[in-house]
Amino acid sequence: MPSGPSLPPKIDLAALDSAIESIPLHEDIFKFDPVSQVDTSPWPRAPAGDGSGSLVPSTPYSLMARAFTLISSTRSRLAITTLLTNLLRVIRAHDASSLLPAVYLVSNHIAPAYDGVELGLGGSILNKAILDVTGVSRARMKQLWNSTGDSGDVAFEARKGCKTLVQHVPLTVSKLYKTLQLIAGIKGQGSANAKLAHVTKLLVASRGEEIRFLVRTFVSHLRIQAVKTTIATALAMTFSLVDGTATESVEFSKSHYLITREDRKGLLATPTKQSERHSPARLTLMARLRLSERLMRQVRARHPNFSVIVPALQEVGLDGLSTRVPLSVGTPLSPMLGSITRSLQDMRAKFGERAFVSEFKYDGQRVQIHALFLPYAVSGKDGAAPDWAKRRREAVPAEKGRWVKCCNGDGEVWVRLFSRHLEDMTVKYPDICDLMPLLMGHGEATADASFLGALPTARPSEGDAATTASTSLLENPAASAAPPVKTRSLIMDAEVVAIGLQGEPLPFQTLANRSRKEVNIKDVKVKVGVFAFDLMYLDGKPLLKTSFRQRRKALQTRFPQFNPPDPLIARFAHVRSCESTDLDEISAFFEAAQASKCEGIMAKSLDHHWEAVEGSEVRCTTRAFHTGNMKAATGETEDGKAGEHLLEKLDDEVADELVLNTEEGEEDEEREQDAIGKGVNGRGKALLSTYEPDRRCESWLKVKRDYVEGMGDSLDLVPIGAWHGMGRKAAWWSPILLALYDPDTGGYQAVCKCISGFTDNEYKRIFAKFAEGSELCYDPRKREPMDEYELGGMSLPDVLFRPCEVWEVRGADITLSPVYHAALGLVSEERGLSMRFPRFIRRREDKSVENASTPEDLAVIYRAQ
């Protein structure tokens, strides 16, 4: 119990529960009033943040638990969004300081990915905590795990029937968030116990449903059908709806986004009556909500940091948001992703007449490179400027990243590297950091011939790196032509690939062997090459809306491939690409990618286009079009009116871009000139080649061998065991352990687990056929396991199956495994083989278990890789 001078006033828990219970969180967002419909008098109090010493309401965690419970009872996106929006509105209205913590709690995080904050709690520690707190037996725990498949549900069920003798102080959102941050900060010897102590304390303090969500929050797995987009939407709606509280900035008249109480009087966001749905007044407001939602998604995609976004919303609202939270060097944007495409023909067909390039998809690690040059001398002065330290601090968002001195003595380049999921990788790649000043023209060796080299593409070549480089230079003679232009700032997209002494690409597993906490560039054991493929920001200008053709051109001309003279520094090249749209040539390029150990290819649309929507007449006139540039979009047209027409036909996405982009600075003249599109006189649809953060787009298509039917390797495996599924798969077996059949011994060698590719019906069939305790399925802990199973270093499955089916399973490639013993001795004496990205394709009813794939079959595939 807390003690000391500021003992909080005694809380009437019954009154609190009833006050929370009576909040109509499910109510239509236009009707719900977080001020008049919420009674905060029984809420716990905390000192106001303004230092006045006055006590203000502090959001009880039970409010969040209540919202989560309601959310869990539906699968309707609309209902979930409504609940979440109303929850955030209540918190915003009564306890604004808890809004950011609440948003983090909903999103399963406590900080942006790149801050490197980790809770370090997992199922194991939580199980311990639940045992401690509830006192249930281990057997009961296991039983609960098997039946619920959820840590929170286990905790909730385990505590049922436990008597809670002490009346606790209610847990608050703010307290929980602070504790999570505290837990994340605990390191070193004894940390496990220290974390456990905090967890246990909170579990003990929790009441009712709270424990379910508390535990899920500890394992960062809330499972409430709302992770990213739904939160962004709810946040946008929260700030669209003016609730008349003191903290709202009131500038209604000029806003694109705000909806006042007056505006929405008598209207419903989700009416049941058809007539109400189409009321013009309602449609106007819904359009505003959609605009806010799109704004929020865009801002979040360009600057995914709630610690920046939420305070910005609170201070400047939606209208000032995109200016206040822009794309910035030092903060990663969400990467653009490619859509899976099942064949080269499909890929070709999707682009139609549009120009595109194909690129090698290397098997490495994606990296987003941020770099900023800061000169020692400011203009007009020479020598180191006295305010260097201050300028340095001001130049970057925080004391993260790495400063690299330019060897020409001009200044320093600040570098920060991010992974695909936006983790900070700067310290992992000092060799890439050191590359940046040279790449940006701030080194002095740029005239050196050794700079002109390129990475060879899997061509074996004698001699050292320099010889190799000159060989591959022939592939791209243009590389030597470009003079180094000094670059101020950039954000670049690239793939990091492990390379051998000759610069040849090495497998992903080699790259994975690299240390992650690097201290010294001299200790780097796995050399890497950087294969660049996009440029999102250059010299202070975002290029997201620039066509890919121009981004690519800028990337290639400004940053020619080169091989730094210092062998410790990473090499730089562009991904190999092919501009032909001829299917045969693309096929040959795809084969070349395989030969170079690539995963496949990415095909990318080069230009912005307009295309007719079905049934409309299309007149194709070439003229300048560039999203984000009103003048170009409405510029020269055949009949002079078509420009306006075009604007009317813009789909929402583009309209939004236009609105947002007015704040992104002037257009680049060069870009404008090159902007190509098709005028459409009729209904039109935008097919853009913009960089779309956070989206899997049809303008980027990825083709891998294993997506293509009949192309990848597949195995015919025997299911020999399984575990109880979790979450939505709790009622079935998942994952399922698969094995090869060894005809020499009659044994079964486990090769991988499989979770993907099964339909729910297939799961049902499997669970019914291999029913627990039946002839075909037994508990290996209760009955001696059959000795023909070779499980390797695998932990024992919950159940073992009698071998009786054969399944076709496809994967990307075969890996040397530290765990499985499949084909042990055939390619390695120490390690067996396993499969990357295994997925169930179909049952082979035509095959008996004796006809399943053998260790030799697997070894053959491995050797052929």
Residue 423 binds DNA (CB under 7 A): yes
What are the backbone dihedrals phi and psi of residue 358, each rounded to the nearest 5 degrees, phi first? -105, 145
* Contact status: 420 vs DNA (CB under 7 A): yes
Interface with DNA includes 227 (CB under 7 A)? yes
Q: Which of residues 35-94 bind DNA (CB under 7 A)?
A: 75-78
Judged by CB under 7 A, the residue of 726, 776, 796, 826 near DNA is 726
CA 577/CA 600 separation, integer angstroms: 12
Contact 719, 801 (CB under 8 A): yes
User: Is residue 204 at the binding interface for DNA, with CB under 7 A as the rule?
Assistant: no
Nearer to DNA, 624 or 796 (CB): 796
Q: Which of 15, 22, 118, 641 binds DNA (CB under 7 A)?
A: 118
- Of 169, 268, 819, 826, the one binding DNA by CB under 7 A: 819
CB of 73 to DNA, least distance (A): 11
CA atoms within 13 A on the CB side of 666: 3
Query: Residue 317 corresponds to which tokens in the numbers above?
Result: 């609202």
Nearer to DNA, 168 or 696 (CB): 696
What are the Cα distances from residue 370, in Å, to 14, 328, 390? Answer: 53, 9, 20
Kindly state whether residue 224 participates in binding DNA, applying the rule CB under 7 A.
yes
- Give whole-number Cα distances, 289 to 67, 71, 90, 285, in Å: 22, 21, 18, 6
CB of 486 to DNA, least distance (A): 30
Rule CB under 7 A: say whether 277 interacts with DNA.
Answer: no
Q: Among residue numbers 495 through 524, which ones bind DNA (CB under 7 A)?
A: 508-509, 512-517
Nearer to DNA, 95 or 805 (CB): 805
Burial of 355 (0-12, 13-18, 19+ CB in 10 A): middle
What sign has the CA pseudo-torsion 110, 116, 119, 122?
Answer: positive
Query: Can residue 154 be called a binding residue for DNA (CB under 7 A)?
Result: no
One residue of 140, 459, 685, 839 binding DNA per CB under 7 A:
839
User: At its nearest, how many Å lie between DNA and the CB of residue 762?
Assistant: 8
Which pair of structure tokens corresponds to residue 767?
A: 């669970």
| Local structure of residue 141 (DSSP, 8 states) | H
Work out which of 152, 679, 693, 838 binds DNA, going by CB under 7 A: 838
The rounded distance, in Å, linking the Cα atoms of 589 and 577 is 8
Among 5, 53, 161, 190, binds DNA (CB under 7 A): 190
Residue 124: phi and psi, rounded to 5, are -65, -50
**Number of residues binding to DNA, judged by CB under 7 A:** 94
Which position among 810, 823, 853, 861 is part of the footprint of DNA (CB under 7 A)? 810
Shortest CB 87 distance to DNA, Å: 14
Written as six digits, the tokens of 602 are: 């990415």
Is 502 buried (19+), middle (13-18) or exposed (0-12) by CB count in 10 A?
Answer: buried
Does 725 interact with DNA (rule: CB under 7 A)?
Answer: yes
* Minimum CB–partner distance for residue 675 and DNA (Å): 24
Binding of residue 781 to DNA (CB under 7 A): no
Q: In the range 693-712, which residues lie near DNA by CB under 7 A? A: 695-696, 704, 707
Beta strand pairing call for 777-778 and 799-801: antiparallel
CA–CA gap between residue 128 and residue 117 (Å, rounded): 23
Respond yes or no on whether the N-terminal peptide bond of residue 735 is cis (omega within 30° of 0): yes
Shortest gap between Cβ of 78 and DNA (angstroms)?
6
List the x/- string, 737-776, binding to DNA by CB under 7 A. Answer: ---------------xxxxxxxxxx---------------
Q: Which stretch binds DNA (CB under 7 A): 376-384, 397-405, 566-574, 818-826?
A: 818-826
Q: Is 844 in the site for DNA (CB under 7 A)?
A: no
Residue 369 near residue 417 (C-beta atoms within 8 A): yes
- Spatial distance between the Cα atoms of 20 and 57, rounded to a whole number of angstroms: 13
Query: Are 553 and 478 contacting, i.e. CB atoms less than 8 angstroms apart?
Result: no
- Give the span between the Cα atoms of 497 and 744, in whole angstroms: 40
DSSP string, 19-51: HHHTS-TTS-TTT--TTTT---TTS-EEE-TTS
Q: How far is the CB of 567 from DNA (least distance, A)?
A: 22
Q: Which of 6, 18, 73, 124 binds DNA (CB under 7 A)?
A: 124
What would the x/- binding string for DNA be over residues 361 to 400, using CB under 7 A? --xxxx----------------------------------
